[in-house]
Amino acid sequence: MTKLKWGMIGGGEGSQIGPAHRLGALADGHFEFTAGALDHRPDVGRDYAQRLGIAADRAYGDWTEMLAGEKNRDDRIDLVTVATPNATHFEITKSFLEAGFNVLCEKPMTMTVEEGEEIVKVAEKSGKICAVNYCYSAYPMVRQARAMVRAGEIGKVRLVVTNFSHGHHGDATDADNPRVRWRYDPAMAGVSGQFADCGIHALHMASFISDDKVETLSADFASTIPSRELEDDAMVNFRMQGGTVGRLWTSSVAIGRQHGFDIQVFGETGGLRWASEQPNQLIYTPVGGRTQVIEKGEGGLYEDAQRLSRVAIAHPEGFPLAVANIYCDLADAIKGEVRDGLPGAADGVRSMAAVHTAVQSAKAGGAWLDARPSIFR
């Protein structure tokens, strides 16, 4: 099998998400790591890329150098991952799409709705893939949940309740730590803190499993550590186009919660529950029946859940292999088999519209507002 060529921008040594991309992209043999501009410090990035096995002439100092170097090569990369801080995503993603590269962009895809809409148009015009790394949606048991909803196993979805709440920014004495502080500084993070950082994963998941789109929302934001300009806690109520009621809580000051991302989907004939800290189990209760634990790797799962699981029942796969599932779907899409579950630019701009609408709603005392980007109204 000829491997596809993969490059990454950002994700340098010591970064949070870089290792998950490297493990994910290389896990199944679809890609080889060919090029990179991995760090905001050119020399550090070049050095690290070479230590990871990238040839010296493709270990770039910054993304503009990488774009110039790659675009005229016959053996140019097939896919570039953008894993830099948020404010740079738009410019890098747009430039690579325009130059004819497939892109996997980290979330949030852009800082504004207008930028997001532009990415949707640029991606369409280029004919290239623009995926967004909503990697939780690629866990096998999340794909199983979506397939069960689609097959009518819980009937029409009435209610989705989701949390993405942790306590890792809950120590007021650590609020000035530079790695924490920027997330609540509008100059670095944009209009929203915790909702844009973690809440959008939960919102995407609600849409993904219930197979519906957010239409309106009402938000309540709080900066529970008063020095923070942006919110560290948010409660967002929403309604979906199909009438589903949505409730979302996201927090970074929920001390004691480690990676508290979970979702419950309640339909007319059953309910489903999934949690990122127990990702191999999907809890299913048919109305009037017994609660069942559906295990990753067991027989009878839907095709997507089977296809995206590598190891036998009861062996955990976990976060890097959920990211790997995004790369599996990308490899298929690059080869011409587009996978329905792969999150794309449309998901990215819907998230940005939800973020900006939530900010407006919170400022207006929780007013219910249209949360759709204008291109999807």
DSSP reduced 3-state for 207: helix
Binding mask 124-163 for ligand NAI (x = CB under 6 A): ---------x-x----------------------------
**Smallest separation (angstroms) from ligand NAI to the CB of 248:** 17
Total residues at interface with ligand NAI (CB under 6 A): 22
Report if residue 91 touches ligand NAI, rule: CB under 6 A. Answer: no
| Unique residue bearing structure tokens 């770039």 | 60
**Smallest separation (angstroms) from ligand NAI to the CB of 173:** 22
Q: Candidates 77-85, 208-216, 223-231, 273-281: pick the segment binding ligand NAI (CB under 6 A).
A: 77-85
Interacting positions 213-242 with ligand NAI (CB under 6 A)? none
| Unique residue bearing structure tokens 């990454």 | 8
Report if residue 83 touches ligand NAI, rule: CB under 6 A. Answer: yes
Interacting positions 57-76 with ligand NAI (CB under 6 A)? 62-63
Nearer to ligand NAI, 39 or 215 (CB): 39
- On whether the CB atoms of residues 302 and 148 are closer than 8 A, the answer is yes
Nearer to ligand NAI, 51 or 335 (CB): 51
Which position's Cβ is nearest ligand NAI? 12
**What Å distances lie between residue 322 and 46, 76, 242, 273, CA to CA?**
28, 26, 28, 18
Q: In 124-275, which ranges are E strands?
A: 130-132, 157-165, 214-222, 233-240, 245-251, 260-267, 270-275
**Smallest separation (angstroms) from ligand NAI to the CB of 154:** 27
Nearer to ligand NAI, 62 or 295 (CB): 62
Report if residue 322 touches ligand NAI, rule: CB under 6 A. Answer: no
- On whether the CB atoms of residues 270 and 153 are closer than 8 A, the answer is yes
Nearer to ligand NAI, 46 or 146 (CB): 46
Nearer to ligand NAI, 24 or 246 (CB): 24
CA atoms within 13 A on the CB side of 155: 11
**Smallest separation (angstroms) from ligand NAI to the CB of 190:** 11
**Smallest separation (angstroms) from ligand NAI to the CB of 158:** 28
* Omega before 108 within 30 of 0, i.e. cis: yes
Give dist(CA 312, CA 316) in Å, integer.
9
Strand 157-165, strand 260-267: pairing = antiparallel
Residue 293 has which token pair?
Answer: 């634990």
**Smallest separation (angstroms) from ligand NAI to the CB of 269:** 32
Interacting positions 5-44 with ligand NAI (CB under 6 A)? 9-12, 15-18, 37, 39-40
The total number of residues shown for the chain amounts to: 377
Give dist(CA 319, CA 134) in Å, integer.
12
Interacting positions 106-125 with ligand NAI (CB under 6 A)? 106-107
Q: Candidates 84-92, 219-227, 310-318, 336-344: pick the segment binding ligand NAI (CB under 6 A).
A: 84-92
Nearer to ligand NAI, 301 or 328 (CB): 328
Give dist(CA 323, CA 342) in Å, integer.
11
Strand 245-251, strand 233-240: pairing = antiparallel
Quick one: how far is CA 371 from the chain centroid? 19
Cα–Cα nearest to 31, from 312, 317, 335, 307 = 335
Nearer to ligand NAI, 63 or 184 (CB): 63
Binding mask 170-189 for ligand NAI (x = CB under 6 A): --------------------
Nearer to ligand NAI, 66 or 301 (CB): 66
**Smallest separation (angstroms) from ligand NAI to the CB of 186:** 16
Q: Would residue 31 be called left, alpha or beta, if left means φ above 0 and alpha means ψ between -120 and 50 degrees?
A: beta
Give dist(CA 315, CA 338) in Å, integer.
29
**Smallest separation (angstroms) from ligand NAI to the CB of 12:** 3
Cα–Cα nearest to 107, from 88, 130, 137, 133 = 133
Q: Which residues bind ligand NAI (CB under 6 A)?
A: 9-12, 15-18, 37, 39-40, 62-63, 83-86, 88, 106-107, 133, 135
